[in-house]
Structure 1
Amino acid sequence: MLRNDTLTARNLALTPELHAYLLDQGRMTPDPVLAELIEHTHKAIPDQAHMTVAPEEGALLTFLVRLLGARSIVEVGTFTGYSSLCLARGLAPGGSLITCDVSAEWTALARDFWARAGVTDRIELRLGDALDTLRAMPAEPHLDLAFIDADKPGYIGYWEELVPRLRPGGLLLVDNTLFNGEVIDDKPAPKPAAVRAFNEHARKDDRVQLVMLPLADGLTMARRLPSGEFPA
């Protein structure tokens, strides 16, 4: 039995067998289209294939989009389109996803699988510097959900562009915020150091209610606070 002690680590270490059980029982096992996308990503880009979100994280993205009834979503970091596909599947009727990336090569694979999944009409891919893309969007709060999973030194900049554009109650999700545990190293390498700086930046932001989950490589969830509501 796990101790009822809030200061004691209570997260199970997932063996491959337990992880498989989790995916199966939680109905989070990738369907044939997602499974094939994972396979093609590993074949086409083996050195970067780890950048695909975990299956349980993808399932959570779809779940949260549906829970919010989201119609307007922005994603920073498309890669080969797994998370985009998961986000788009959850959209309310008439909803749309803008996803930002710099690689025409990687996103070509994404486009193929969006078409196979029947979500192409819900997704607009914008190639180029993501900060420029975000700054060109309407400045007023209008986004229901945003997802950041891109270059780690850019996280703070993306956050600062997205938080003001979230509607009250909107959700901002940020991936890799534990960065393989390296965020607590005494002298972290540049990428985990950038993530640690972002984590501290987000923690101090009183515009949002924030939680960090030990899901996959760490997932930060931030809810834009309505006027007059204060962080928990």
Structure 2
Amino acid sequence: MAESNQGKSQNANAQQKLTQKHLLQKDALYQYILQTNVYPREPECLKELRELTANHSRGLMAIPPDEGQFLILLLKLINAKKTIEIGVFTGYSLLCTALALPPDGKVIGIDMNRESYNLGRPIIEKAGVAHKIDFREGLALPILDELIQNEEMQDSFDFAFIDADKVNALNYHERLLNLVKIGGLICYDNTLWSGSVAEAPDAAMSELGRNIRHYTIELNKALAADRRIEISLLPIGDGLTLCRRIS
């Protein structure tokens, strides 16, 4: 009985965390989406990794499962084969990508912390997609610069997903425009930052939240003005901006 109660408590905590990752006005509507559309189609390996991540002290860093489902479909729609991800954490979004790619597809995953990725690595291996992943530990900017120096890497990626250091988002953007091919997609996560982008400048929030809000607003302005891309900001998760490179 104790174990059963503990399991219920952990599940309740995980559900509570998930409610903080969406912007729908009614939580019941979000739960409807999860229960009727997302969870019934979620592969067992993603469920296992999602539940493992939910118990992590920084579990909110992972994308929510409805966003993961959307990314999988998006990657398949564009027939992505070569992708890059900045900000891996335990690897939930990375696993979504690996599952969506064809058997010979590849994703370069960049993160400063291999320890978090190693938590999810056994699940990724069990899912049979570890061979698609090239994990690179370190700061993203030097790694991106190194990739750009390789002419074979320039204009070769079908897709990029950025869920990392918001301060450097625009620096990532300029480099990714050299790596993602024309017609390819660059996706930025958290572009609504819990809705704070629409709050008044003097609204109550933490110093960290205010700083990230500032950089998020600057990113959104820059993307909207960038004529090298077509964009769409989706109210999924914490905000997801799709950028299609056109020049």
- TM-score tier, shorter chain, comes to 0.7 to 0.9
Q: TM-score, normalised by structure 2?
A: 0.81
Equivalent-residue separation in structure 2 for 1:69 and 1:42 (angstroms): 30
Shift of 1:20: 2.9
Equivalent-residue separation in structure 2 for 1:87 and 1:181 (angstroms): 26
Which ranges in structure 1 are unaligned for 5 or more consecutive residues?
1-10, 228-232
Equivalent-residue separation in structure 2 for 1:95 and 1:19 (angstroms): 32
Q: Tell me the equivalent position of 1:74.
A: 84
Shift of 1:109: 1.1
CA contact (8 A) 2:112 2:139 kept: yes
Which stretches of structure 1, 4 residues or longer, exceed 6 Å deviation after superposition? Answer: none
Provide the secondary structure at the position in 2 that maps to 1:223: strand
Q: Tell me the equivalent position of 1:179.
A: 193
Equivalent-residue separation in structure 2 for 1:12 and 1:151 (angstroms): 25
Q: Tell me the equivalent position of 2:6.
A: none
The share of aligned pairs that are identical, in percent, is 36
Q: 1:93 to 1:125 in 2, by over 3 A?
A: same
Q: Tell me the equivalent position of 1:203.
A: 224
Q: Decide which moves more: 78-87 or 157-166.
A: 157-166
Equivalent-residue separation in structure 1 for 2:103 and 2:45 (angstroms): 21
Residue among 118, 129, 149 paired with 2:128: 118
Shift of 1:125: 0.3
Q: Tell me the equivalent position of 1:84.
A: 94
CA contact (8 A) 1:81 1:113 kept: no
Residue among 61, 64, 67 paired with 2:71: 61
The number of aligned residues is 213
Q: Decide which moves more: 208-217 or 20-29.
A: 20-29
Q: Deviations over 1:55-92 (max 9, x none)?
A: 11001111111111111100000000000000111112
Equivalent-residue separation in structure 2 for 1:145 and 1:28 (angstroms): 25
Q: Which has the higher contact order (CA 8 A, sep 6+)?
A: 2
1:26 matched to 2:37? The reply is: yes
CA contact (8 A) 1:134 1:161 kept: yes
Q: Tell me the equivalent position of 1:103.
A: 113
Shift of 1:165: 1.6
Q: 1:76 to 1:12 in 2, by over 3 A?
A: closer
1:190 matched to 2:211? The reply is: yes
Shift of 1:28: 4.9
Equivalent-residue separation in structure 2 for 1:84 and 1:24 (angstroms): 23
More helix by share: 2
Which ranges in structure 2 are unaligned for 5 or more consecutive residues?
1-22, 203-208
Counterpart residue identity of residue 34, structure 2: L
